[in-house]
Amino acid sequence: MKKTLVIGATPDPGRYAYLASNKLVRHGHDIVNVGIKKGEVAGVPIEPAQTIHDDIDTITLYVGTRNQPPLYDYILNTKPKRIIFNPGTENPELEAMAQQKGIEIVEGCTLVMLSTGQY
């Protein structure tokens, strides 16, 4: 199983990040929820982007491109094996920075990847 950090986590059930957190847990993945909203998703509290987790396989992004720059250091210092840029989060600048650090880049949809067994 791939421990996944969900950036942009929200307790709002109408958001894709909420659906992704729940689906990841249903598929047996451990998650860390990071976001600016208070609460929890899939039984896991939402925390601010402060604590660097050193056991993350995948970061899945649900934060728009213009809101990502303050998260660059947090994302890169987490040292994930891959970053999934979900639709609307694609960011050539961050993608290039991550690739320079040997991080795999995926432009795709976490929900679709889980549904089709490609996660």
Q: pTM for the complete prediction?
A: 0.96
User: DSSP of 68-98, one letter per residue?
Assistant: -GGGHHHHHHH--SEEEE-TT---HHHHHHH
Q: Closest by alpha carbon to 61, among 45, 43, 49, 44?
A: 49
> In which domain, by residue range, is 10 found?
4-115
User: What are the C-alpha distances in Å from 33 to residues 17, 48, 93, 100, 101?
Assistant: 9, 9, 24, 25, 23
If one counts the domains in the chain, the total is 1
> Tens digit of pLDDT per residue, the chain (119 long)?
899 999 999 999 999 999 999 999 999 999 999 999 999 999 999 999 999 999 999 999 999 999 999 999 999 999 999 999 999 999 999 999 999 999 999 999 999 999 999 99
CATH number at residue 50: 3.40.50.720
